[in-house]
Structures are given as C-alpha cells and as structure tokens.
Structure 1
C-alpha cells in the first residue's frame, strides 16, 4: 500500500493547458499504481485544455464547479460528481466557463514507453 498525502502531491505541467494547476496524487513513483496515474486539476475561470488528443483514454471526474467538454462539435457541461471517458485519439477541448474554480480528478494510463 502506498499512502500519499495531499500536502506531498507534486505539481506537474500538462501540455496545451492554461490557467490550471495540476497535482499528481498517485503515479510515477515506487510502490504506486502500475497501470494508471491520478491527477487533481484546479482550473481557474477561463482555464482549459486543447483542442488535442492522446493515444490513450482518460477519465475526468468533476469534484467541484463545472467543466465544459467539446468533442466533435458536441458540447456537454459536467457538474459535481459527473464524469466522462475520452477515448484514445478523440480530439477534445475543455474549458471552465464559470467564475468559480473547477476541481477535477483525471485518471490516465501511463504513456507508452519509448525505447
């Protein structure tokens, strides 16, 4: 078992994201999960990511606030405890269109290893 305290979560920069602070809650450490990592993102008003895609799926879980998700012209708004899965290769854009901070968990598999 690996317990990691919130106070010990390391910041990380995600490509093509703006007005967001990402903290790695679990993953990329000895004794941590072996098939995915968990991030905690705090998006300021107007913050977001994309449009872009990844070669692996990801899951978003909104804990607090709202996040607008746009995929293939379809726009949905996620509220507290709403979640969505973004399939591999799916181009998505997300944006916090409110005046409140959006707090969101992100669960993703590790990127493929390069040799």
Structure 2
C-alpha cells in the first residue's frame, strides 16, 4: 500500500489551463499507481481549460461547485459527485461559470513512455 497524505500533495501546472491550482494526489512516485495519476483541480470563478484534446481519456469527478464541460458537440454542467469521461482525442473545454470555487478530481493515464 502507498499512502500519500493531502499535506504531501504538490502543485503542478497543466497546459492550457487558467485560474486553477492543481495538486497531484497520486502518481509519478516510485511506489504510486502504475497506470494513471490522480489530481485535484481547484478552479477559481472564470477558470477553465481548453479547448484542446489529449491522446488519452480522462475522467472528471466534481466534489464541490459546478463545472461546465463542452465536448463532442454537447454542453453539460456537472455538480457535486457528478462525473464524466472524455474519450481520447475528443476536443473538450471546461469552464467554471459560477462565483464559487469548483473542486474536481481528475484521473488520467500516464502519457506514452511515462511511468513512475
């Protein structure tokens, strides 16, 4: 078992993101997960990401607040404990259109060639 306390999580910068602080909860550690990493994204009002795509799928789980997700010609608002999967290669945009912080768990496979 590999335990990482919240106090040990380190910030990371995500490309094409704005108004966000990301914390890596698990991943890219010697004893951490082998297939994916997990981050906590904290989006300020007006914060977001994209539009862009990645060569791997990602899963979003909103813990607090609301996040507008635009992908595949569809626009949805995710609220607490709502989740979605963005398929590999799909262009997506996310935006916090509220006046509250949105906290969202992000699960993403490691990029090709990257591992712990």
Report the TM-score range of the alignment, normalised by the length of the smaller protein. over 0.9
CA deviation after TM superposition for structure 1 residue 73, in Å: 3.0
- Please give the secondary structure, in 2, of the residue aligned with 1:14: coil
Match of 2:83 in 1: 83
**Is 2:58 the counterpart of 1:58?**
yes
| Count, aligned residues | 114
**Is 2:21 the counterpart of 1:21?**
yes
Question: CA deviation digits over 1:58-107, x for unaligned, max 9?
Answer: 00000000000001331100000000000000000000000000000000
Query: Aligned equivalents of 2:80 and 2:9: distance in 1?
Result: 22
**RMSD of the TM alignment (CA)?**
0.9
TM-score, reference length from structure 1: 0.97
**Structure 1 segments (4+ residues) deviating >3 Å:** none
Query: Aligned equivalents of 1:84 and 1:73: distance in 2?
Result: 15
Query: Aligned equivalents of 1:60 and 1:82: distance in 2?
Result: 8
Query: Aligned equivalents of 1:26 and 1:73: distance in 2?
Result: 31
Query: Aligned equivalents of 2:34 and 2:73: distance in 1?
Result: 35
How do residues 95-114 of structure 1 correspond to structure 2 at under 5 angstroms?
Answer: 95-113=95-113
